[in-house]
Structure 1
């Protein structure tokens, strides 16, 4: 099944958010993903908590599907690519082969995060702490006080939606914006074995400042839903709680 996706405007440019939690940037032919947390299961296994060791393969399969779907020329990951800096050395052969094929087929950049600050590009690609592309800063964690357009990850944002008396948790993108429509965006976590954080959590709202408003974007079956999380001199809306 092809994941549902929707275009939206960010700082005067078109971006596309998919239900698979990837963002595509048509002007740069770039696929953006955050928080893959590859080899998370093997990390926990080394520390005595046994989990099925297939999370990396599932994550890379979904990533390969997104690259093919958009015919992406570039892939830029926004940190916490592996669950620890040594994760690239523990990939099983099939997953390692998938990753090598992806990095050979695209202009691939790993932006490092707090989980993998000293990772090595064992399977190809380039490594950077942060990157500027098309006037947009790409980094792992939103930098409070940043006034330039910025894309980041780190927080794994989610919203809880109440639909027909049911509470449904969904990953989301979080956009902080000013009156001119420009600001910052936090991507949802892409990895198969990642949890989520309340999109209206004070830590996220503070990280997005200075902006005049913060919204959550949630791709549904039929549309890209926008939920207000914060406005100047107001509190987070209850319907966007975790």
Structure 2
């Protein structure tokens, strides 16, 4: 069931989220757009996850995720024409992804990178860049009052935008439950959902998020087909309920 079908039209919002006073547009595809900087931010692409599973004999996932993820990213790049793209770590599923990636996908990625700055933030899955990709590799990046990194810092971290946890939110409405990827935020920091088409998700009711947000401050910006929906912590349900 769609998110649009179970929530009121009033829950759909303008898509503009403030983090420490800096405005970001939350895109239904799971990315952030910062208009002043013309910056597109994505997290956890997990390119070559399908081929990693196949190499380990866990071949239930067709190895086409890289092409699908890059196609989705390409549509956003065509729409916004960013000056800078920042990928918040775990862009590649493991250290050997560069050996498995199809040459056509490398060509697609290089075309997306052309004529813009491209920053790869190091993640726990990809602490070193594959030799086949271009762009700059850093541990983190800062601009204005914002810091971009892969893994969120435990405790207070004003201005932080991170990935790593793959947040999803679940709500019940009109007798139905809906679980969707989301941006988890309290207005001072944010955790982005995984952008990769094969990446899973961790419910924001999990205690891992309790180490980042004080009780009652968390909002889930749930990603729907027709827009983004802002849900207070009181509306959110854990998995299994």
| TM-score for the superposition, normalised by structure 1 | 0.86
More strand by share: 1
1:79 aligns to 2:89 (yes or no): yes
Alignment of 1:28-43 (within 5 A): 28-43=37-52
Match among 190, 212, 217 for residue 221 of structure 2: 217
Matched residue SS, 1:213: coil
Which runs of no fewer than 5 residues in structure 1 stay unpaired? Answer: 178-182, 230-236
What are the superposed Cα offsets for residues 130-188 of structure 1, whole Å, 9 maximum, x if unpaired?
111222111001102344310000111111122322211110000034xxxxx110001
1:47 aligned to 27, 42, 56, which one? 56
Segments of structure 2 that go 5 or more residues without pairing to the other structure are 1-11
Aligned residue for 2:179, secondary structure, equals: strand
* Aligned 1:1-242 pairs, distance under 5 A: 6-50=15-59, 51-177=61-187, 183-206=188-211, 208-209=212-213, 213-220=217-224, 224-229=228-233, 237=234, 239-242=236-239
CA distance in 2, matches of 1:209, 1:163: 24
Q: Deviation digits for residues 22-47 of structure 1, max 9, x if unmatched?
A: 11111111100000000001111111
Q: CA deviation at 1:209?
A: 4.6
Aligned residues: 226
Q: Deviations over 1:91-129 (max 9, x none)?
A: 112211111111223200000111111233522001011
Deviations 1:61-92 (A, max 9, x none): 00011111112111000111011022123211
Moved over 6 A (4+): none
CA distance 1:190–1:221, shift in 2 (3 Å): closer
**Aligned counterparts of 1:134 and 1:121: Cα–Cα separation in 2:** 31
- The structure, 1 or 2, with the larger RCO (C-alpha pairs under 8 Å, 6+ apart) is 2
Take 2:195 and 2:179, find their aligned partners in 1: how far apart are those partners? Answer: 15
**Which of 143-152 and 184-193 deviates more?**
143-152
Q: Displacement of 1:239 after TM fit?
A: 3.2
CA distance in structure 2 between the aligned counterparts of 1:94 and 1:163, rounded to whole angstroms:
44
* Bigger mean CA offset, 31-40 vs 103-112: 103-112
